[in-house]
Amino acid sequence: MIKLYNTMSRKKEIFKPIKKGRVGLYSCGPTVYSYAHIGHFRSYIFVDTLKRILRYNRFKVKHVMNITDVGHLTSDADTGEDKIEKEARIEKKTVWQIAKFYTKDFFNSMKKLNVKKPDIICKATDHIQDMIDFIKKIEKNGYTYRTSDGIYFDTSKMKDYGKLARLKIEGLEKGKRVSFGEKKNVTDFALWKFSPKDKKRQMEWDSPWGVGFPGWHIECSVMSMKYLGKVFDIHTGGVDHIPVHHTNEIAQAKAVIGKDFVRYWLHNEFVMVNGEKMSKSKRNFFNMNDIEKKGFDPLALRYLFLTAHYRSKINFTWKSLEAAQNTLNKLRQHMLLLQEPDNKKSNKNKIKKYKKQFQDFINDDLNTPEAISLIWKMIRDEKEINNKDKYKLILEFDKVFGLNLDKIKPTKIKIPTGIKKLIKEREKARKNKNWKKADEIRNKLKKKGYILEDTPNGPVIKKSSKV
């Protein structure tokens, strides 16, 4: 049984998929006009963890994510320049070059963070006709009107508009001091924008309403429903998407199918810097290049995110990343040590207990902080569980954490001749039952940084490491 916090009900709910054993999952993808930053990484590590947890529970997950390569304007109020067109102007490149470059960079970063690729990655610009067809249906059902700059959604016609965000529409209307132009209601939003008369856009398409481009919100309603069906299981995004983007996605879909199109809305909280959301516009962001330049392993960032619940804010500091890196290094060293057998018996009951605890944590709305501490509790458990079982369990848990712990293998070390000679000497002493001499040589080796262990197959030598 998995419980997920549904933003729509503001409650943890038992997850019941529409089709038994299958999950349709849609995530709002990046707007590809700049390098992704640590805030974005959190959002996609959260989705990746959710996916891994669903798969750990044997669900077949179909994950769809969009790439916003058109229509996201610099202001959420449908004004300002298209972010990609603006960047193309600044960088003196085509919009297509901009989108291609930053999409590639995004997936490079995702790979470094061990975030699995979605099953379907869909670009907005590849679905213009689908969007036009969808807007036609919204229009046919009577939810649209025309202004001089586009086709707008009339939110006053949607009875429960804003219910996801618990928007108080009246308050919004009254509180709005600046005029909202030709829009009938402050919350109305563009479905189709006309190309400006005074400027040539690089991306524009013909439509029944005039040459232009789609609004930002329409792409997610259209592509999610195209690939996952009219109603699907889970939709994710950052909390900033609740009041506008997701609220509008719901309105558009409902205008066509007459009901809610998503069963569970999941939102991750922000990465903050000094009390403010990390964002491009605030210029308080760091990206993959910054992380690597400072010598950090991207997986240390993944570890850091796992230690906080996805619904709580994280204040990012380099110190916190350093602490996460140190802990991850320690965990990796333990994984090496755990590959050495000890003489303890396997305790089936204890293994079962640890597994159950782990499942309870991850299935309780992705409680990764508790699940991570369970690993440490198990490592410290010297009595009831042996090395082999600990190692196996941690690898199983890492299917959810995605820290690549299975890649931690002992490396073959080159042993200097002097050390080899000492080992031979010790073997001779042991054959002659000269235990005192054998111990002396072992201590000598230890001082030189080598640990010698006697196993049934003969002595094993290792470089000593501090844990």
Are the CB atoms for 248 and 216 separated by under 8 Å?
Answer: no
Q: Quick one: tokens of 360?
A: 């309870």
Q: Tell me: does residue 213 bind ligand AMP (CB under 6 A).
A: no
d(C-alpha 458, C-alpha 95), whole Å: 65
Q: Tell me: does residue 30 bind ligand AMP (CB under 6 A).
A: yes
Strand residue runs (E) in 166-216:
189-194, 212-214
Q: Tell me: does residue 124 bind Zn ion (CB under 5 A).
A: no
**Residue with smaller CB distance to ligand AMP, 271 or 403:** 271
Q: Tell me: does residue 270 bind ligand AMP (CB under 6 A).
A: yes
Q: Tell me: does residue 242 bind ligand AMP (CB under 6 A).
A: no
Q: Least CB distance from residue 271 to ligand AMP, whole Å?
A: 4
Q: Tell me: does residue 73 bind Zn ion (CB under 5 A).
A: no
Q: Tell me: does residue 240 bind ligand AMP (CB under 6 A).
A: yes
The vertex-11 CA angle with 163 and 46, nearest 5°, equals 95
Alpha carbon 273 to its chain centroid, in Å, reads 19
Helix axes 216-228, 128-140, angle to 10 degrees: 100
How many residues belong to the chain?
467
d(C-alpha 13, C-alpha 264), whole Å: 9
Q: Least CB distance from residue 164 to Zn ion, whole Å?
A: 13
Q: Which stretch binds ligand AMP (CB under 6 A): 27-35, 292-300, 335-343, 345-353?
A: 27-35
Q: Which does 220 bind (CB under 5 to 8 A by kind): ligand AMP, Zn ion, none?
A: Zn ion
Q: Which stretch binds Zn ion (CB under 5 A): 54-62, 220-228, 303-311, 454-462?
A: 220-228
| CA distances (Å), origin 99, targets 28, 31, 191 | 16, 8, 21
Closest CA to 80 of 199, 249, 219: 199
211 C-beta neighbours (distance < 10 Å), count: 11
**Residue with smaller CB distance to ligand AMP, 248 or 386:** 248
Q: Interface mask (CB under 5 A) for Zn ion, residues 179-218, using x and -?
A: ----------------------------------------
- Closest residue by beta carbon to ligand AMP: 238
Strand 458-463 to 232-238 pairing: unpaired
Alpha carbon 294 to its chain centroid, in Å, reads 22
Strand-by-strand arrangement of the 276-277 sheet: 276-277, 271-273, 314-315
Residue 73, sorted as left (phi over 0), alpha (psi -120 to 50) or beta, turns out to be beta
Among 42, 123, 263, 334, binds ligand AMP (CB under 6 A): 42
**Residue with smaller CB distance to ligand AMP, 115 or 335:** 115
d(C-alpha 158, C-alpha 255), whole Å: 8
Residues 369-388 that bind ligand AMP (CB under 6 A): none
Q: Quick one: tokens of 96?
A: 């297509």
**Residue with smaller CB distance to Zn ion, 26 or 41:** 26
Binding residue count for ligand AMP, defined by CB under 6 A: 17
**Residue with smaller CB distance to Zn ion, 84 or 385:** 84
Q: Tell me: does residue 28 bind ligand AMP (CB under 6 A).
A: yes
Are the CB atoms for 95 and 84 separated by under 8 Å?
Answer: yes
Which residues, in sequence order, are CB contacts of 171 under 8 Å at separation 6+?
none
Q: Tell me: does residue 359 bind ligand AMP (CB under 6 A).
A: no
**Residue with smaller CB distance to Zn ion, 261 or 401:** 261
Among 24, 39, 71, 118, binds ligand AMP (CB under 6 A): 39
Q: Tell me: does residue 333 bind ligand AMP (CB under 6 A).
A: no
Q: Tell me: does residue 28 bind Zn ion (CB under 5 A).
A: yes
Q: Which stretch binds ligand AMP (CB under 6 A): 24-32, 86-94, 138-146, 154-162?
A: 24-32
Q: Which residues bind ligand AMP (CB under 6 A)?
A: 28, 30-31, 39-40, 42-43, 237-238, 240-241, 268, 270-271, 277-279
